[in-house]
Amino acid sequence: MSNDIIPNTYSQQPDERGHFGPYGGRYVAETLMPLILSVEQAWNEAKNDLKFWAEFHELAKHYIGRPSPLYFAKKTTEHFGGAKIYFKRDELNHTGAHKINHCIGQVLLAKRMGKTRIIAETGAGQHGVATATVCALFDIPCTVFMGAKDVERQAPNVFRMKLLGADVVPVSSGSASLKDAMNEAMRDWVTNVHNTYYLIGTVAGPHPFPAMVREFQSVIGKELREQMEEREGRLPDTLIAAIGGGSNAMGLFHPFLDEPDVNMIGVEAGGMGVDTDKHAASLTGGTPGILHGMQSYFLQDEDGQIQEAHSISAGLDYPGIGPEHAWLFDQKRVNYVSVTDQEALDAFQLCSKLEGIIPALEPSHAFAHVAKIAGDLPKDHIIVMNLCGRGDKDIFTVAKKLGVEI
Amino acid sequence: MNRIEQKFLKLSDKGRTALVTFIMAGDPSLKTSAEVLKALPENGADIIEIGMPFTDPAADGVTIQKAGLRALEAGATLRHTLDMVKNFREDDSETPIILMGYANPLFAYGMADFAKTASEYGVDGLIIVDLPPEEDCILREHTQQYGLDIIRLITPTTDEERLPKVLDGAGGFLYYVSITGVTGAAKPDPEALKPHIQAIKSKSKLPVVIGFGIKTPEDAKNMAGLADGIVVGSSIVEKIALLQGDKKDISDVSDFVKSLSTALK
């Protein structure tokens, strides 16, 4: 590993074979390999095509509602009495989270490749809803794989996907959760390789998906640079984002990776605690391995068997993480921490009451870490937290935890 | 000459198609699995593939997925799988053994240690489904040192342009995946396979074995002669699934393997 060498740039990864240091790559069955290569070729052409980006930005503006506002959270700032806190409000996007950014990008690519069917995996259902949404918009048949357990606990999102015209396939193999939904999507892809595009929901999977999803999500960080310049005339000091697979964090961080004065913190889901066996913190509680087409960090036992993740937030409930985060973790460019279910639950309520914004449980993890550090920082220290999703989908989970019947 | 080469030479002298049988290590229990393994050659298996159980087998159908989970439930680990081969080799020094599975358990074990132990214990080749030629250097640098063959998969999507990449570094035999899909899925059409097999044969001297979707003695018969060997996996594993725990009588599995072998004669 190249841990001892400080690279002169953090933003120019991966290499041409999709590696971020030892991580990333294309660990897929031979049947999929030619297709992965054709996705890469199509992506390389698209990303240099101004027309492709014109269409992306047109939809980003008028369909998603971008740019998302940069909001000064005055009451939160006063409450903690330290750093100046801003929210990047990606929860105001159409469909209520940042997922729509990479769904628009990838559906445009699928269309460009002449694919006539789209598949996706989903945990909480946010990526599934966003995928079903863009498939409705572009009139492409859509199948979403979802762990049978998640189908049960996320009924409103299952109904949304169906309303949008998607087929939702409950996956009962393995542990019937997000990782198994991803396995099942891979199995479908291998079977329907000729006409199908797999719209992966985070900065994970085989190359070029981690780099491509990052590129679509980095619209968040690029907007932030401009907005911060306008508001404060300088760069932010600290960026904070929640991490499951890592798409919203990568989108926020990437445009700032080569700014040495910008500190970045990724917040993993600590579940019942990283020292227990019930968490989803792949970096702070996992080890390097190979799964779902990539080398990265995973929750696994010493025999290399993948373990189940646990988090109050279904969107963070994945036993792996995108390979670029694995690399940034080893390089110590980004600081990765974890927040427990209880801390996230408290943050969920505090943010709702302070700002009149009900955050999703995912960014509630980020907010919980803001709560831990903001008070000790000087008043001229600027924190930007990615408020990557709204909490409407989580009210049932939270009510149950609080012992409230709705 | 290694065991794989010797086996194919012997079979081609007799004009026979090799029967390659797949079982999952530790399924349904460590003990029963070892007994099934031991009985395979005497019932006509020419080459044996042993699956290394993994929690997330993304290229396998339901039958093999369940077999892996049964094995893990029974306490199987990669160490057990290697020990199983070591024990098998005490009585059988001829039948080639191929270990088949996914990269992560090997990665956790350590690629170098794994290659060394596998070679010492009498493994002949490896099929690692999620290590395509683009990524298998992490294993190949060690297998070369210890004389293990990396067996490459060729699929209906491996086109003419890609084939040389797959052949470069391939050893043992070539595994032609007959369909786009997972193990235990749809049946391949022998006639449609012919041109693909011929195309591969024109580019490589390695024996070609056809796998995926071959389930019955009748399927085996239809495929005989089309290539140098055929793989039967899911339908054997289905018979093994019916063995309960440490049940002694494995004759249903043995009889089934015998019927496959007879069909190829």
Q: In this structure, what are the phi and psi dihedrals at residue B123, rounded to the nearest 5 degrees?
A: -80, 145
Query: Could you tell me the pLDDT band of residue A2, with boundaries at 50, 70 and 90?
Result: very low
Express as a percent the part of chain A with pLDDT over 70: 99
User: What are B210-238's pLDDT values in tens digits?
Assistant: 998 899 999 999 998 899 999 999 999 99
**Cβ-count burial of A304 within 10 angstroms (0-12 exposed, 13-18 middle, 19+ buried)?**
buried
Query: Could you tell me the pLDDT band of residue A149, with boundaries at 50, 70 and 90?
Result: confident
Query: Could you tell me the pLDDT band of residue B84, with boundaries at 50, 70 and 90?
Result: very high
Among the partner-chain residues A27, A31, A300, the one whose CB lies closest to the CB of B180 is A31
Mutate one of A36, A169, A187 to test the B interface: name it (highest B CB count within 10 A): A187
Quote the minimal CA–CA distance from A197 to chain B in Å: 15
pLDDT given for residue B191 in this prediction: 87
Fold (topology level) of A66-97+218-401:
Rossmann fold (3.40.50)
Catalytic option among B27, B46, B60, B124: B60
Domains of chain A by residue range: 20-59+99-213, 66-97+218-401
A-B CB pairs within 8 A amount to: 122
- The Cα–Cα gap between A350 and A370 comes to 12
Quote the minimal CA–CA distance from B7 to chain A in Å: 26
- Chain A: which residues have CB within 8 Å of chain B? 17, 25-35, 173-175, 179-180, 182-183, 186-187, 190-194, 287-293, 295, 298, 300, 302-306
Average pLDDT over residues B234-253: 86
pLDDT given for residue A124 in this prediction: 81
A235-251 in b/e form (b: 16+ CB < 10 A) is bbbbbbbbbbbbbbbbb
Among the partner-chain residues B109, B154, B182, the one whose CB lies closest to the CB of A304 is B109
Q: Judging by DSSP bridges, how do beta strands B208-211 and B229-232 pair with one another?
A: parallel
> Over chain B, what is the mean pLDDT?
94
- Taking the CA atoms of chain A, what radius of gyration do you get in angstroms? 20
Determine, for residues B181 and A173 on separate chains, whether the beta-carbon distance falls below 8 Å.
no
| pLDDT higher than threshold 80 for residue B131 | yes
Catalytic option among B13, B42, B46, B49: B49
pLDDT given for residue A1 in this prediction: 46
| pLDDT higher than threshold 80 for residue A136 | yes
Q: Are A283 and A326 in contact (CB under 8 A)?
A: yes
Average pLDDT over residues B95-123: 98
Domains in chain B, CATH or no CATH each? 3-263 (3.20.20.70)
* Residues 6 or more apart whose Cβ sits within 8 Å of residue A160: A125, A129, A132
Among the partner-chain residues A25, A33, A302, the one whose CB lies closest to the CB of B108 is A302
User: What are A353-405's pLDDT values in tens digits?
Assistant: 999 999 999 999 999 999 999 999 999 999 999 999 999 989 999 999 999 98
- The Cα–Cα gap between A23 and A203 comes to 12
- The Cα–Cα gap between A238 and A232 comes to 14
ipTM: 0.95
Query: Could you tell me the pLDDT band of residue A4, with boundaries at 50, 70 and 90?
Result: low
Average pLDDT over residues A147-172: 93
Region at A293 (left for phi over 0; alpha for psi -120 to 50; beta for the rest) = left
Express as a percent the part of chain B with pLDDT over 90: 87
User: What are A288-339's pLDDT values in tens digits?
Assistant: 999 999 999 999 999 999 999 999 998 898 999 999 999 999 999 999 999 9
Beta strands in A1-82 (DSSP E): 19-20, 23-27, 70-72
DSSP string covering B143-195, please?
A: HHHHTPEEPPEE-TT--TTTHHHHHTT--S-EEEE-SSS-TT-SPP-HHHHHH
- In chain A, the residue whose alpha carbon lies closest to the alpha carbon of B160 is A34
| pLDDT higher than threshold 60 for residue B246 | no
Lowest mean pLDDT among A297-311, A345-359, B190-204, B233-247: B233-247
Determine, for residues A26 and B134 on separate chains, whether the beta-carbon distance falls below 8 Å.
yes
B49 annotated active-site: yes
Average pLDDT over residues B167-184: 91
Average pLDDT over residues B68-82: 97
**Full 3-state SS string of B35-59:** HHHHHHHHCCCCEEEEECCCCCCCC
Mutate one of B65, B127, B131, B135 to test the A interface: name it (highest A CB count within 10 A): B135
| pLDDT higher than threshold 90 for residue B247 | no
Amino acid found at B218: E
Q: Judging by DSSP bridges, how do beta strands A196-198 and A293-298 pair with one another?
A: unpaired
Q: Which residue has the higher pLDDT, A8 or A377?
A: A377
A20-59+99-213 is classed CATH 3.40.50.1980: no
User: What are A246-278's pLDDT values in tens digits?
Assistant: 999 999 999 999 999 999 999 999 999 999 999
A20-59+99-213 and A66-97+218-401 agree in CATH topology: yes
